Amino acid sequence: MISVPVSLVVVVPMCASLLIAVLGLTKYRCHWHISIVATFVSFIASLALLYNTLQIGRISYWLGGWEPPWGIEYVIDYYSGFVLVAITLVSLLTTVYAATYVKREVGESRDLSFAILNMLMVTGLHGIIVTGDLFNLYIFLEITSIAAYSLIGAGKKKGALVASFNYLILGTIGAIFVLIGVAYLYMITGTLNMADLRAILPVHYDSKVVFAAFAFITVGLAIKFALFPLHTWLLSAHSLAPAVVCSVLAASILKVTAYALIRVMFTVFEAGFTLEVIPATEILLVMSIIAIIVGGILTAAQTNLKRMLACSSLGQMGYIVLGVAIADQMAMTGSILHLLNHSLMKGGLFLIAGAIIHKVRIYDIADMKGVGRKMPLTMAAFTIIGLSMVGVPLTVGFVSKWHIAVGALKAGMWYIIPVIVASSLLTAFYFGRVIRNAYFASEGSDQGSSSKAHDHAHNQHGDRNSESRSEAPPGMVIPILIFAGLCIILGTAAFIPVSIAEKAAIMLLEGT
């Protein structure tokens, strides 16, 4: 236990939400400035914590000085430090984007409440990553989910409230499952501290209560991050919510929930239990392969841009679970890398969709003719991230897919390679379709069809936008360019994230 304030990454956004609420009672409106400062401080703190972890090892912080297991413990190790940096970065960039986007697209009347909920959601996300207490993980998971339910319902599109309600119902079922699992573990061990549970549980591995606890927590978290076939809430929530909320859902909430599942499987329970005592990895292997294949086919069938991006998340989450199910060090490294890489890719893509909708009111892929000339920076970023999603070398998408593929070969699972190749070809098809329309299709050509409402909006704005290049406001474009730039930088300098992810994979699999 050391005096490094690990709690800073949780306390700062939480205090920011309270400060924004208090200032909201006055005439002062500086809520987005406060939000940006809070997320920036959290990002810098996460970098410092990861650096310290790489230097001295695991960092433990006891809230109020109370020693665990009686007190609450926050922990930073190679795994949580790596993911924390990724999520705080996404939180910062999406908050910068939201400062411009929300007032224009969600409405000025909801601007203040949106900022408060955004900070609460950030608090929950960061808390899930750093907590060393299983019940606290559940609490932070619900803080995140409740804020997300409200933010999805803030969208102006018809059906946003229904999508939010569906997410609420299924999210609540998932939360109940997690809570039941946590209660079972407490019932048999008398503790909720993850390190303490790891030490006590091995003598109870033959207990049906422990089996049930593992099953409940695994299924509950799988619902939360939409692992096939528990994904039914995902498509409507991601396609109908405001674009910045979609970005946070795909880039942060799904990844942090997947992080929590991996943490429980290999930290609370030993790798031997997960891999040998119960057939968890065999079940997850089948589910992840189906998710990758079905996700690719569903995505290729979509005509709406945001719905296409939503469907692709189904397959990409399959990649994360696939590496875990293979349980090879190389494949596990690929899964941990994909938590970062997909956060960058999907976070940027949803922000791009929001910028296109904001500027030219285009929703369907068939209507994107000439958008590459009207919004060159935005579509250049889309192209870069799209290539990364395919897995083109020198991009982050290639790095994580390569590690998973090599890990599969080392584990003797050669049949996974055709799945990865087929998925990449499908990804090339549906992203290539968007890029072709944006750059190469004539604006007067008749490619595909869209609804009359979308055609009307396109015609209304088309003449004005065709006169000159017209990007979204800088506050929206800059985060998009940063996301795209990181897809190249961390793809070419892959040794930086790989070196940390490898340490995390060894720690999880070997219990060190």
Residue range 205-242, pLDDT digits in tens: 888 888 899 999 999 998 888 787 877 777 777 777 88
The predicted structure's pLDDT at residue 4:
55
Nearest by Cα to 383 from 456, 315, 484: 484
Instruction: Quick: pLDDT tens for 447-501.
Output: 444 444 444 444 444 444 444 567 778 888 999 999 999 999 999 998 999 999 9
Query: Shortest CA distance to 476 belongs to which of 223, 262, 244?
Result: 244
Q: What is the DSSP letter of 249?
A: I
Least confident range from 141-145, 235-239, 309-313, 337-341: namely: 235-239
Please state, in angstroms and rounded to a whole number, the distance separating the CA atoms of residues 466 and 294.
38
Dihedral through CA 106, CA 24, CA 37, CA 384, nearest 10?
A: 0
Virtual torsion, Cα 207, 275, 197, 497, nearest 10 deg: -170
The pLDDT of residue 304? 84
Whether 309 is in a domain gets the answer yes
Tell me if 442 is assigned to some domain. Answer: yes
Amino acid letter for position 8 = L
Residue 371's nearest CA partner among 390, 386, 352, 392 is 352
Q: If you search the block for the tokens 């083109």, which residue do you land on?
A: 392
Give ∠ CA 346-81-96 in degrees, rounded to 5.
45
Mean pLDDT of 441-447: 55
Which of 113, 500, 212 lies closest to 337, judged by CA? 500
Asked, for residue 184, whether it belongs to a domain, the answer is no
Q: How far apart are CA 483 and CA 469, in angstroms?
A: 22
**What is the spatial distance between Cα 413 and Cα 409, in angstroms, rounded to a whole number?**
6
Q: Is this structure's pTM higher than 0.75? A: yes
Residue 476: which of 307, 358, 367, 308 has the closest Cα? Answer: 358
Residue 273 lies in a domain: no
Using the CB atoms, write b or e for 18-45: b if 16+ within 10 Å. ebbbeebeeeeeebbebbbebbbbbbeb
Rounded to 10 degrees, the C-alpha dihedral 135/197/319/220 comes to: -40
- How much of the chain is in helix, strand and coil states, percent to nearest 5? 80, 5, 20
Contact 327, 412 (CB under 8 A): no
Q: Looking at the predicted structure, is the pLDDT value of residue 443 above 70?
A: no
Looking at every residue in the chain, the average pLDDT score rounds to: 84
On whether residue 371 sits in a domain, the answer given is yes
**Cα→Cα distances 97→92, 235, 351, Å:** 9, 23, 8
> Which own/partner pairs from 434-438 qualify as long-range (CB within 8 Å, at least 24 positions apart)?
434/305, 434/308, 434/365, 434/368, 434/382, 434/386, 435/372, 435/379, 435/382, 435/383, 435/386, 437/365, 437/366, 437/368, 437/369, 437/371, 438/368, 438/369, 438/370, 438/371, 438/372, 438/379, 438/382
In a domain, 110, yes or no: no
**Domain span including residue 292:** 283-512
Look at the block and give the residue holding tokens 């329970």: 269
Looking at residue 323, its pLDDT comes to: 87
Over the stretch 349-368, which tens digit does the pLDDT of each residue have? 999 988 888 888 877 888 88
366 CB burial (10 A radius; 0-12, 13-18, 19+): buried
Is the residue at 344 inside a domain? Answer: yes
14 in Cβ contact with 70 (< 8 Å) = no
pLDDT above 50: residue 291: yes
What the block records as the tokens of 357 is 């909708």
Over range 435-445, report the average pLDDT. 73
pLDDT value for 294: 87
Q: Greater confidence, 451 or 50?
A: 50
Can you name the residues that pair with 364 across neighbouring β-strands? Answer: 304
Q: Is the pLDDT of residue 140 over 80?
A: yes
Contact in structure between 209 and 182 (CB atoms under 8 Å):
no
The residue among 315 and 403 whose pLDDT is bigger is 403
Residue 63 in this model has a pLDDT that exceeds 80? no
**Cβ contacts of residue 203 below 8 Å, gap of 6+?**
none
Q: Looking at the domain assignment, is residue 413 inside a domain?
A: yes
Q: What percent of the chain has a predicted confidence (pLDDT) above 90?
A: 27
Average pLDDT of the segment spanning 322-343 = 89
CA distance 234 to 87: 20
Average pLDDT over residues 54-70: 80
Could you tell me what percent of the chain has a pLDDT over 70?
92
Arithmetic mean of pLDDT, 318-347: 89
pLDDT at 468: 56
Q: CA 122 to CA 140: how far, in whole Å?
A: 10
Three-state secondary structure string covering 275-290: HHHCCHHHHHHHHHHH
- Count of domains forming the chain: 1
User: DSSP label at 269?
Assistant: S
Q: What's the per-residue H, E or C state across 396-411?
A: HHHHHHHHHHHHHHHC
Q: Given a cut of 60, is residue 261 above it in pLDDT?
A: yes
The pLDDT of residue 328: 85
How many C-beta neighbours within 10 Å does residue 119 have?
A: 28
Q: Higher-confidence residue: 27 or 131?
A: 131
Output the DSSP codes for 57-95. --EEEEGGGPPTTTS-EEEE-HHHHHHHHHHHHHHHHHH
